Amino acid sequence: MIPEDEDFTQSPYTEYGEFNIEEEENETTRFLQQGRFFGVSLGSGIEGVTGNRGLLWQKGSPMIDFRIHYWFDFNLALDLGLFSVPHFYEFKRGSSDDHVDVNIIFVGVTVKYYFDVQNLSAALTFANPFLTIGGGIFYKTENSRLLGTSDTDNTMGLNIGGGLEFPIKAKKIFFTLESRFYTSNFSDTFTGDFMPSLGIPNLTGNFYTLTANLLFTW
């Protein structure tokens, strides 16, 4: 009996690989030396409303925006944020005019992805563009001046957006411009209360924001 020759043909299962361990270690070392770990930001902006709700609600500024930031690496970060913004609307309640002040508070978590722009133009590298996706809770308070009553409501919402981050002092202070689009579904979304006086059949609509923040990191 003549034994068969052993087959030493290379395959994905027989090839030796380091699994990019050295490259990952170098990237981790670079992040520990040059990256940001934590940050806080404070800023202001505006909130707009779309759809039928946007036909009723007015104002949407000034927005006060506060966030806490954590970076996993150069490309991925997590934000815990809160913003508050006032709106108002007016309509005829029976035979009397009513003015209703609306305050929106949003509390949420957002994942932020920074594009790798090292090999792109200097302008894009300086601007440091990013995308965001997240979710949270809207808290809504409406105060009627005519009735002297206060109604509260809340709903879950998702958001997507993007922005630019400009360094003022490397690794320490940044100026951020960001825009987001938010979904919402308050309990009054399908109310017909404003059809008789304003011709608005319901309050379907979502929110969008534009904010400018100062970001401090360490």
> How far is Cα 154 from Cα 66, in angstroms, rounded to an integer?
20
Say which CATH number the domain at 171 has.
2.40.160.20
* pLDDT at 11 (0 to 100): 56
Confirm whether 11 is domain-assigned: no
Counting the structural domains of the chain, the total is 1
% pLDDT > 90, the chain: 75
List, for residues 71-126, the tens digit of each pLDDT value: 999 999 999 999 999 999 999 988 899 999 999 999 999 999 999 877 665 656 67
Report yes or no on 28 lying in a domain: no
pLDDT tens, position by position, 148-195: 999 999 999 999 999 999 999 988 999 999 999 999 999 999 999 999
**CA triple 156-157-161, angle to 5 deg:** 160
Distance CA 190, CA 52 (A): 10
Residue range(s) defining the domain that contains residue 162: 37-217
CA distance 122 to 165: 14
**Burial call 18-42: b when 16+ CB within 10 Å, e when fewer:** eeeeeeeeeeeeebeeeebeebebe
126 within a domain of the structure (yes/no):
yes
Q: Would residue 12 count as lying in a domain?
A: no
- pLDDT band at residue 143 using 50, 70 and 90 as cut-offs: very high
pLDDT (average), residues 183-211: 95
Greater model confidence, 26 or 52: 52
